[in-house]
Amino acid sequence: MGAYIVSGAVVKVDRHFERGYRDLAYDVVKECPDCLDVDYVVISSALPELTAHQVDLSTHIAQWLGRRVPVVRVESGETSGLAAVDLAASLVSSGRNRRVLVLGLEKVTDYPTYVTNYFYSLILDYEFEVLRSVSPPAYAALVMKELMRGGVKRECFSSWAVKMHENATSIPHAMLRFKISYDSFKDSQVLAEPLTLHDSFALGDGAAALVVSSSPNTNASSVEIVFSATEVGLPAYLRENISDLTASVKLLKLSLERYGLDLKKVITELHDSYTPYPIAILRSLGYLDGGCDLNEFEYLNTSGGLKARGHPIGATGVYQAYEVFKLLTDRLGSKTASTDYGLVHSMSGPDNVSRVLILKR
Amino acid sequence: MGAYIVSGAVVKVDRHFERGYRDLAYDVVKECPDCLDVDYVVISSALPELTAHQVDLSTHIAQWLGRRVPVVRVESGETSGLAAVDLAASLVSSGRNRRVLVLGLEKVTDYPTYVTNYFYSLILDYEFEVLRSVSPPAYAALVMKELMRGGVKRECFSSWAVKMHENATSIPHAMLRFKISYDSFKDSQVLAEPLTLHDSFALGDGAAALVVSSSPNTNASSVEIVFSATEVGLPAYLRENISDLTASVKLLKLSLERYGLDLKKVITELHDSYTPYPIAILRSLGYLDGGCDLNEFEYLNTSGGLKARGHPIGATGVYQAYEVFKLLTDRLGSKTASTDYGLVHSMSGPDNVSRVLILKR
Amino acid sequence: MKLSPSQFWRIRESQYRLIITECGSCGRKSVFKRSVCPFCGSSNVKHVESEGFGKVLDVTKVMYRWNSSDERPPLLVGVVELDEGVRVVGEIVGVGDNEEVKEGTRVEAVLRRYASDDPYGVIYYGIKFKPIKTA
Amino acid sequence: MKLSPSQFWRIRESQYRLIITECGSCGRKSVFKRSVCPFCGSSNVKHVESEGFGKVLDVTKVMYRWNSSDERPPLLVGVVELDEGVRVVGEIVGVGDNEEVKEGTRVEAVLRRYASDDPYGVIYYGIKFKPIKTA
Ligand SMILES: [Zn+2]
Ligand SMILES: [Zn+2]
């Protein structure tokens, strides 16, 4: 049996001071009436124990929404959202469920930034990385430096940031809907040299909902999940080259080859927590070797990516899948697309784990 | 396609001072060589962020075990283990995976008891229960009082504890392998009147592994997952009677009826975090109304239950399923059984969410 | 664990006052300010405030330490049925040495300290219940 | 977040010393005391201790605050390749104002403070790296 995305909704990624986990869940399903006509709910969330003192979040969300339907929470750091979509596809493909709601939820703006930064850093190995003062931006900076030694110019990373902000201007649910200049990194706060805030994702609260069904909609407004795969990478410090994001590259290569796709033509959402990561991936896939012209790619991170749409950690994968779904079936903000396939890529930390999803209209 | 449990292993539930999450994972798969011949791993764990500062535990466990296989973590409080088995069944039934490893892991003995008690209490609703000083034993005590007002004698709860300890003496992986007396509650520490430590589960570290496959073993050593269901309950304070564990009772009733089973004859593992819970459930199902003779039940919590085998929170459901699997196919410690069906019941808090699994040999 | 002032601030109405959610669909009432009826899932709800009086349905004396707050055992936790017919769970305080709280004891809502991080931290207040002296 | 002394104690050998895991199956080496080879998954491993010398493969100066420890930015974090051919990640300390740490800088392992809970809490120590003066 197949698996189809048939419906969905998102709330704006933002600092929703007045909204907690349950409020965000309520807000997003309110926008999506048939999101509650399901027989299973998979909630993806990475940080509720740390940011909201809540274990068993999924049960408490179901109780808050007044639902008795089976519910569970899935977590895998920054890839939690795509992990949930993957499980939902199996839940309906198994014939055991008809319609599954995937609900990505994250609340991250309740604490001073350094506290949230610390919670986020725990996606790395606590005992062997975090205790040794290694944080996600430190790895991103090391990847950036290695790429720069390999000939990538500083401006290339900036052009990613500029492009993402530009894309986000037409996306209503994006967190940062303004343009930035190529040299804004010069005045930007340094996180870990040479990586600046300009190279980093926007951290915001978020909620995204998708309905995965065992059958397509009768009209054209659904997409099929034709491929969903996961690969665990080596710890970054064990790699021959720290900028080789081998798990992501392997999955993306496999995806493009198997479906005869060209990244320049296909709708793609890449995980761009820090600008060096998508640049490293594109180069490993054989793109950008002559320079850094992102305009070669027709539908690359139309949403603005983690950089500008924003990154509500455990919900991000659901946003990405929603965005590709909308582009394939209708429109995303003011953007439309004329292609049959869409690709979603998610990873946690510096490629500790990667997941890829292919959607077909 | 079907789903079968074909293999498994557990470590003793205990205070494993020298073993952390990764060590426990290593220990259990070492006992189960074909546990690593899988194409997907579902890790169930409820508390790693709180007890071990680790987000994305599943990826770090896969890296530690040197595996690149798809991996995810599932959490739903005390029912995390059965939630993982449920998802594993769909993963293989979907035809997308051949063999899935379910790995229940919990490390809970690194902190003073009051700290771990606090982490555990977060299975309740933090904002509306925990902040109001409501803890799991308080609810268990209120259930116990209501049952006692309804005519259940104090000794009935004690007889559960006594029986569980007796059962555990023949289970090598049980935490508390010693007998206790009927009136040990009189000298036991009061948690919340009238509930004592004698009425409470044993908290220990644990790791349990099960392989769920799309096809049975060629010999008789596998069981089919014929039923797996989840039900969300009302918050306890909203119920007409606090001792009505309606989600659990509904699922168990449905299970018994659909498969024509009698709880007195069938292998059963009930979630007995606190003695009032199994007593309440058995009474709602129509048992024990003439008294409290637990010897009527041939295979009830052969393991010793959460009370005596122990309760490694997010791993417990995997232990329970392993135990029923072993009893159906071989032996559990020195215990054997001659029946074709086994029932596993798990719940979080006072029936906030309940899950039931039926296994058939 | 550090408390989060913004998390507490969001639920302030349900903590400082006894808000009741009334469902326009199934007619049932539930405690706390909710967007959805927990019984039937309807969003057709309105909110009213309780008068703050009720009776104890059941109570337990918690004798063990289960967190790091300065509040140490014993403490009384119970389910209270408000006069509006709605149940709520919470702590029962202000009970004298010779007093007994049991099923049926009349109580009123009072504002008391819930928790604080440390000697210099924010203190959170919320509703607890106090027996009404009938003497 | 409170640290857990028992959690730290369990990994003490990998934190106080530079243990290398050598794989008898694939022949590759990895840092830390491991039960399983991270490259090939084999349990056929043995452990040796590094001499503690190596060179910086790459380093970054972390300029932002990302936790509540007393250690404030800036701090240097890098990947070090030990003379045994194994890579490890960690902090680089003891760098003078006029010194520069870069690719190729020779370093040695030293024991330094990792973290502590509070002024009266346990202090955790572990391996960091210090440039070797060549003057
Ligand atoms: Zn209603
Ligand atoms: Zn090897």
Residues in CB range of A21: below 8 A, 6 or more apart: A45, A48, A52, A54, A57, A61, A105, A107
Report pTM.
Answer: 0.97
* Whole-angstrom distance, CA of residue A52 vs CA of residue A110: 9
Ranges of chain A with pLDDT below 70: none
What is the predicted ipTM?
0.97
* Whole-angstrom distance, CA of residue A283 vs CA of residue A309: 23
* Whole-angstrom distance, CA of residue A192 vs CA of residue A199: 10
Q: Do A133 and D71 touch (CB under 8 A)?
A: yes
Touching check for A98 and chain C: CB below 8 Å?
A: no
Which residue of B74, B80, B99, B232 is the best one to mutate when testing the A interface, meaning the one whose CB has the most A CBs within 10 A? B232
Q: Which residues of A touch D66 (CB under 8 A)?
A: 114, 117-118, 121, 135, 137
| Number of compact structural domains in chain D | 1
DSSP element (H, E) containing A145? helix A136-149
* Whole-angstrom distance, CA of residue B10 vs CA of residue B4: 18
Six token digits for residue C124: 């959170």
Predicted pLDDT of residue C124: 86
Interface partners of D (3+ CB pairs, < 8 Å)? A, B
Q: Are the C-beta atoms of B332 and B323 separated by less than 8 Å? A: yes
Report the CATH architecture of B135-199+223-360: 3-Layer(aba) Sandwich (3.40)
Interface partners of A (3+ CB pairs, < 8 Å)? B, C, D
The residues of chain B that CATH labels 3.40.47.10 are 4-111+205-213, 135-199+223-360
Evaluate if residue C134 carries a pLDDT over 80.
no
Domain range for D72 is 5-131
CA distance B107 to chain C (A): 18
C-alpha of residue D47 to centroid of ligand 2, in Å: 13
Q: Are the C-beta atoms of A223 and A361 separated by less than 8 Å? A: yes
In B254-351, at which residue ranges do the beta strands (DSSP E only) sit?
Answer: 267-269, 341-348
Nearest CA in chain D to A113: D66
Neighbours of B251 (CB within 10 A): 21
The arithmetic mean of pLDDT across residues B296-320, rounded, is 98
Q: Are the C-beta atoms of B180 and B165 separated by less than 8 Å? A: yes
Residues in CB range of B299: below 8 A, 6 or more apart: B265, B266, B267, B268, B327, B337, B339, B342
Mapped onto helix, strand or coil, the DSSP state of residue A169 is: coil
Touching check for C31 and chain A: CB below 8 Å?
A: no
Instruction: Summarize pLDDT for D69-119 with one digit per residue, the tens.
Output: 766 789 999 999 999 999 999 999 999 888 899 999 999 999 998 877 666
Evaluate if residue B246 carries a pLDDT over 60.
yes
Residue type, A46: A
pLDDT averaged over every residue in chain A: 96
Minimum-distance CB partner of A67 among C2, C4, C41:
C41
Residues in CB range of B312: below 8 A, 6 or more apart: B13, B104, B105, B106, B108, B203, B204, B205, B206, B207, B319
The arithmetic mean of pLDDT across residues B194-217, rounded, is 97
* Whole-angstrom distance, CA of residue C58 vs CA of residue C102: 6
Predicted pLDDT of residue B243: 97
Predicted pLDDT of residue C133: 82
Predicted pLDDT of residue D124: 85
Q: Are the C-beta atoms of A238 and D85 separated by less than 8 Å? A: no
* Residue keyed to tokens 């090939």: D40
Instruction: Summarize pLDDT for A126-137 with one digit per residue, the tens.
Output: 999 999 999 999
Predicted pLDDT of residue A1: 76
Q: Which residues of B touch A67 (CB under 8 A)?
A: 232
CA A225, chain centre distance (Å): 17
Q: Do A87 and B83 touch (CB under 8 A)?
A: no
The arithmetic mean of pLDDT across residues C100-124, rounded, is 86
Six token digits for residue A50: 């740390």
CB pairs under 8 A between A and C: 40
Instruction: Identify the band that residue B183 occupies on the pLDDT scale cut at 50, 70 and 90.
Output: confident
Nearest CA in chain B to D34: B64
Q: Which residues of C touch A25 (CB under 8 A)?
A: none
Instruction: Summarize pLDDT for C34-84 with one digit per residue, the tens.
Output: 999 999 999 999 999 999 999 999 999 999 988 877 667 899 999 999 999
Which residue of D2, D3, D6 is the best one to mutate when testing the B interface, meaning the one whose CB has the most B CBs within 10 A? D6
Q: Are the C-beta atoms of B89 and C38 separated by less than 8 Å? A: no
Evaluate if residue D135 carries a pLDDT over 70.
no
Cis peptide before A48 (omega within 30 of 0): no
Touching check for B141 and chain C: CB below 8 Å?
A: yes
CA distance C3 to chain A (A): 9
CA distance C135 to chain B (A): 27
Nearest CA in chain B to A52: B126
Touching check for B142 and chain C: CB below 8 Å?
A: yes
Residue B91 φ then ψ, to 5°:
-60, -40
Fold of B4-111+205-213: Peroxisomal Thiolase; Chain A, domain 1 (3.40.47)
Instruction: Identify the band that residue B35 occupies on the pLDDT scale cut at 50, 70 and 90.
Output: very high
The order of strands in the sheet holding C45-49 is C29-31, C19-23, C45-49
Touching check for B30 and chain D: CB below 8 Å?
A: yes
Instruction: Summarize pLDDT for B106-117 with one digit per residue, the tens.
Output: 999 999 888 999
Nearest CA in chain B to A40: B230
- Residue A344: strand pairing partners: A269, A357
Predicted pLDDT of residue C4: 82
Neighbours of B151 (CB within 10 A): 9
The residue among A347, A348, A349, A344 whose CA lies nearest residue A85 is A344
CA distance C40 to chain A (A): 6
Which residue of D61, D62, D65, D110 is the best one to mutate when testing the A interface, meaning the one whose CB has the most A CBs within 10 A? D62
Nearest CA in chain C to A63: C38
Nearest CA in chain B to C38: B234
CA distance B132 to chain C (A): 5
Touching check for C44 and chain B: CB below 8 Å?
A: no
* Whole-angstrom distance, CA of residue B129 vs CA of residue C127: 12
Q: Which residues of B touch C79 (CB under 8 A)?
A: 142, 237, 242
